[in-house]
Amino acid sequence: MDEEEAVAFKKFLDYLAPDNEQAAVQRYEHLRDAAIKYFACKYFACRNVSDPRACADEVLRVLQLKIAAGRVIEHIESYSLRVAHYVKLRDWKRHQPEVQPSESEGKDKNPGAESPLEILEKRVERNRLSRCLAKCWQTFSDEDRKLMERYGLGSEHHKAEREALAAELGITEEYLRQKIHRLKKKLRACLNDCLKKISRKV
């Protein structure tokens, strides 16, 4: 980040929540998450060619530039949505030829065929994932690990077990659902960090 960008970022945080850095960062994170969600859904996506995270960062970059240039934005959330829409259109135009192959091109390509190298890469990737998951799993307390295991996966499974679990903990099932989601989110974040570290080493 160069000096100009750093100043723009600081101004943006001030704009989001003056004199309260923590609140500003929270609001910033929310805007980023919302933009990621926007780009991750197919009909608004960057048409499979860009990473939704990169698209979301582009939205935030545009917002920072606008604020730094003295633009007064009354409602930053709805303005962010408009910027996201604009970034999507721009990105879509840029990548349009790549993502809309003609029918004959589509038939020639065999998306299921993988080279031995690709298969090997996938295995290596899976191995890395397993290692990272085992490592991250250990960073959770025994209590949290058991909670995740007992809760299980999916929306409809283990209903009785989940009811019993919520009763044991003295919380509502809805709160338990949210708690589990936050634990899994934390686990995923740990997994992503671990994978980044490994790929940096490689």
Partner 1 sequence: MNQEKQDQWIKSYLLGDLPPHEREQVEARYFADPDFLERMDVIEAELIEDYALGALGVEKAQKVKQHMLNSPYQLEKLQFAEMLMERFDQVETVQDVAVEAALRRENWVANLRGFFSQRRWPSFVIPAAAAVLIIGGLIFEISRMRRQLDNLRLAGLKQQETIAQQQKQIEQMTGKPQPSPEERRNDLVKDQTSPPPTMKLATFLLLSVTTREVNEKPPDVLIPTGAAEVRLQLVYNGKRYSSYQPMLENADGDVLLPPKSGLKTVRVGNQSIVNFDVPTKNLIENRTYIVRLKAKRASNYEEVGLYDFIVRKQ
* For partner 1, the closer CB: 8 or 176: 176
- Binding flag, residue 199, partner 1 (CB under 8 A): no
CB 36 within 8 A of CB 92: no
| Residue carrying structure tokens 């994932």 | 129
Q: Which of residues 71-130 bind partner 1 (CB under 8 A)?
A: 77-78, 80-81, 111-116, 119, 129-130
Q: Which of residues 151-180 bind partner 1 (CB under 8 A)?
A: 152-157, 174, 177-178
Q: Which of residues 2-61 bind partner 1 (CB under 8 A)?
A: 26, 30-31, 33-34, 36-38, 40-46, 48, 51-53
Report residue 82 CA to chain centroid gap. Answer: 20
Show the CA angle centred on residue 51, arms to residues 99 and 187, nearest 5°.
140
List residues binding partner 1 (CB under 8 A).
Answer: 26, 30-31, 33-34, 36-38, 40-46, 48, 51-53, 77-78, 80-81, 111-116, 119, 129-130, 133, 137, 148-149, 152-157, 174, 177-178, 181, 184-185, 188, 191-192
